[in-house]
């Protein structure tokens, strides 16, 4: 029987946490487990979790360190005797076949670093349908992961080898997006599977730490973000950490892709990529926005709490 471990970080999530946990527990095998790291909630989140009284749930009470670092801490703390590790947000709803679809997709790849992720059904706070997350036209790849994240963490499931490989002993506080990091590592050394069938209802509400827009609103959100934040600095910091940790062990073709992105000084590198004939991102408009940013983004490094719309 496949052993499943669900990892969840919570922060002031009392409104939706019970509904979300029940949607997971209803399909979690009896030998499965949920480890929740509470990121310093100031509301009733922890009491809501304890009230469920299910032996499959373990609660860790932590200090507030931010969502990305909280998930990376969870990965480092988790035991190694599980086959599949699944990430979960505190306020979504898992559709009834989410675990089974994840198991079916990853079963052939349990011995390698592998990641499974899916499209999402976007809903409002009352679970009314709003739309779907973007349908990525191209397959996941390492060259794409160097400049774009197509993995939304709350849909992700990973194998034990990827969990082990993705742990960062030092410097993980510099990673802004745990799901992007998993995509980068998984695509470099193993297998990334994108499922166009939604497996969660992704609840959109005013207290989202990370939200997902669709259609023209997605681009308006991106424009708002890049008007105040150096997204390029986020990208370059992550790729720099990746190179320091993995460059000696990368397959040659991936090392070539990495050096195209990370070598040379900033201005030369950015200009070369901006004028390159190679495509990096999934959509043409996203590619154009990336190249404009590469040419004109010279702001200071962003603050840790700022997020990007995927």
The pLDDT value recorded for residue 32 is 97
| Cα-trace Rg, the chain | 19
Dihedral sign for Cα 263, 267, 268, 271, please. Answer: positive
Per-residue model confidence (pLDDT) at position 285: 83
Tokens 């409002």 identify what position?
Answer: 124
Tens digits of residue pLDDT in 250-294: 999 999 888 888 765 667 777 877 777 777 888 888 888 778 877
Beta-strand (E) ranges in the chain? 4-10, 33-39, 57-62, 84-88, 93-94, 114-118, 121-123, 129-132, 157-159, 191-195, 200-203
pTM for the full model? 0.88
Determine contact, residues 45/38, Cβ cutoff 8 Å. yes
Using CA atoms in the order 69, 248, 108, 155, what is the torsion angle rounded to 10 degrees?
20
Q: Count of CB atoms within 10 A of residue 23's CB?
A: 19
Q: Determine the pLDDT at residue 36.
A: 98
Q: Is the pLDDT of residue 310 over 50?
A: no
Residue 241 has pLDDT above 80, yes or no: yes
End-to-end CA distance of the chain: give it in Å, rounded: 35
Kindly report which listed range (75-84, 109-118, 220-229) carries the lowest average pLDDT score: 220-229
Between 25-29, 41-45, 250-254, the lowest mean confidence (pLDDT) is in 250-254
User: Does the pLDDT value for residue 297 go beyond 80?
Assistant: no
203 close to 91: Cβ distance less than 8 angstroms:
yes
Query: What ranges in 123-177 are assigned the alpha helix state H?
Result: 142-145, 160-166
Residue 249: CA atoms inside 13 Å, Cβ hemisphere, count?
Answer: 9
Structure token pair of residue 49: 């979790």
Give the model's pLDDT for residue 307.
34
Domains and CATH numbers, the chain: 4-203 (3.90.550.10), 216-296 (no CATH)
């Amino acid at each position: 029987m496949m052993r499943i471990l669900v990892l969840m970080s919570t922060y002031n999530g009392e409104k939706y946490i019970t509904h979300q946990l029940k949607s997971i527990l209803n399909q979690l095998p009896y030998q499965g487990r949920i480890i929740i790291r509470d990121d310093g909630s100031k509301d009733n989140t922890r009491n809501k979790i304890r009230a469920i009284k299910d032996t499959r749930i373990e609660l860790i009470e932590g200090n507030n360190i931010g969502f990305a670092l909280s998930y990376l801490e969870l990965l480092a703390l988790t035991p190694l005797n599980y086959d599949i590790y699944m990430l979960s947000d505190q306020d979504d709803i898992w559709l009834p076949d989410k675990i089974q679809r994840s198991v079916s997709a990853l079963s052939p790849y349990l011995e390698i670093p592998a990641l499974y992720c899916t499209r999402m059904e976007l809903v409002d706070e009352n679970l009314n349908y709003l739309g779907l997350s973007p349908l990525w036209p191209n397959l996941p790849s390492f060259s794409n992961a160097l400049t774009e994240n197509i993995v939304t963490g709350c849909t992700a499931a990973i194998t034990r080898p990827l969990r082990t490989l993705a742990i960062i002993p030092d410097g993980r506080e510099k990673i802004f997006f745990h799901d992007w990091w998993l995509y980068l590592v998984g695509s470099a050394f193993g297998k990334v599977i994108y499922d166009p069938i939604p497996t969660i209802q992704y609840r959109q509400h005013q207290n989202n730490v990370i939200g997902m827009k669709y259609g023209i609103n997605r681009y308006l959100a991106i424009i708002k973000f890049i008007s105040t934040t150096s997204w390029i600095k986020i990208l370059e910091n992550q790729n720099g950490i990746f190179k320091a940790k993995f460059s000696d062990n990368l397959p040659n073709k991936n090392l070539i892709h990495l050096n195209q992105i990370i070598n040379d000084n900033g201005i030369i590198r950015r200009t070369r990529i901006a004028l390159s004939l190679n495509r990096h991102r999934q959509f043409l408009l996203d590619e154009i926005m990336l190249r404009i940013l590469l040419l004109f983004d010279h702001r200071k490094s962003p603050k840790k709490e700022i997020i990007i719309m995927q």
